[in-house]
Amino acid sequence: MNQIDLAGQHAVVTGGAQGIGLAVARRLAASGAAVTLWDLDADMLQTARQTLSGAGVQVVDITDAEGVVATLARTEAEGGPVSICVNSAGIAGPAAPLDAYDLGWWRKIIDINLNGTFYVNRAVVPGMKARNYGRIVNIASIAGKEGNPNASAYSASKAAVIGLTKSLGKELAGFDIAVNCITPATAQTRILDQLTPEFIEYMRVRIPRGRFLEVDEAAAMVAWLVSKENSFTTAAAFDLSGGRATY
């Protein structure tokens, strides 16, 4: 494992109790960063904390804009200013054709994947601007580039995260703040529990690598993106699709 120097940095990772978020948190901690995990699941947060010595934890609903601001205040009071933010919280939702898609699920997926990401970015940016330093990585998806059939809500939410990232990266280009996103193919995480075996196989066979993404592979890319070495690239989408992406 390459050693990324994140000494002196404080990272918040949303969705940090499991999956890609937890893998990212482990990698950032191994690189010297202080890490605070944000997640809605209090029990899983405590389990994750036991495997990540020294990490802080905060129970937060990222769809609550005011709650996000309050959680950031608690996080910084306990661990110091946040200089790194990785937005990994998200859900896939059920698979269904658009004309039959449940409206409640549509709203929930957009609220968590897009609005929640917006609220967290909105909360951390002012402090980063004031200190003229920050690194933000938003977890999008290959579905945001290509669109997955029977996953209109998820595909739309992740396409919007890519657009948000590009917009914010340009806004902050005059600061030493890098805002990027990654567009992973499907990873072997609990998010697959929400999908049918047929849909899971549909996604696997479209990956030229012939397998799903390993969460540590995502963490390795994120670790560089949030480092001081990434001093130029911003407003970009980094591919993690195993060759599936067409652009």
pLDDT of residue 204: 86
pLDDT of residue 193: 74
Which of these, 138, 127, 145, 137, lies nearest to 230 by C-alpha position? 137
Instruction: Catalytic residue, from 119, 154, 202, 247: name it.
Output: 154
Residue 154: active-site member: yes
Q: 50 CB contacts (<8 Å, ≥6 apart)?
A: none
Which of these, 108, 80, 90, 93, lies nearest to 38 by C-alpha position? 90
- Domains of the chain with bracketed CATH: 10-240 (3.40.50.720)
Q: 99 CB contacts (<8 Å, ≥6 apart)?
A: none
Count Cβ atoms within 10 A of the Cβ of residue 62 and give its class: 0-12 exposed, 13-18 middle, 19 or more buried.
Answer: buried
How far is Cα 63 from Cα 43, in angstroms, rounded to an integer? 19
Collect contacts of 158-167 with beta carbons under 8 A, ≥24 apart: 158/113, 158/183, 160/110, 160/113, 160/114, 161/87, 161/113, 161/114, 161/117, 162/237, 164/114, 164/117, 164/118, 164/121, 164/138, 165/138, 165/140, 165/235, 165/236, 165/237, 166/235, 166/236, 166/237, 167/235
User: Looking at 54-157, which runs of residues are DSSP E strands?
Assistant: 56-59, 84-87, 134-139
pLDDT in tens, the chain (247 residues): 788 999 999 999 999 999 999 999 999 999 999 999 999 999 999 999 999 989 999 999 999 999 999 999 999 999 999 999 999 999 999 999 999 999 999 999 999 999 999 999 999 999 999 999 999 999 999 999 999 999 999 999 999 999 999 999 999 999 999 999 999 998 877 767 767 788 788 878 889 998 999 999 999 999 999 999 999 999 999 999 999 987 7
Quickly count: other Cβ atoms within 10 Å of residue 239's Cβ: 16
pLDDT of residue 194: 67
Q: Strand, helix or coil at 7?
A: coil
What is the torsional sign of CA 92, 137, 129, 177?
Answer: negative
- CA angle, 111 as apex, 105 and 115 as ends, to 5°? 160
Q: What φ, ψ does residue 138 adopt, rounded to 5°?
A: -100, 130
pTM metric for this prediction: 0.95
pLDDT of residue 106: 98
Count Cβ atoms within 10 A of the Cβ of residue 97 and give its class: 0-12 exposed, 13-18 middle, 19 or more buried.
Answer: exposed
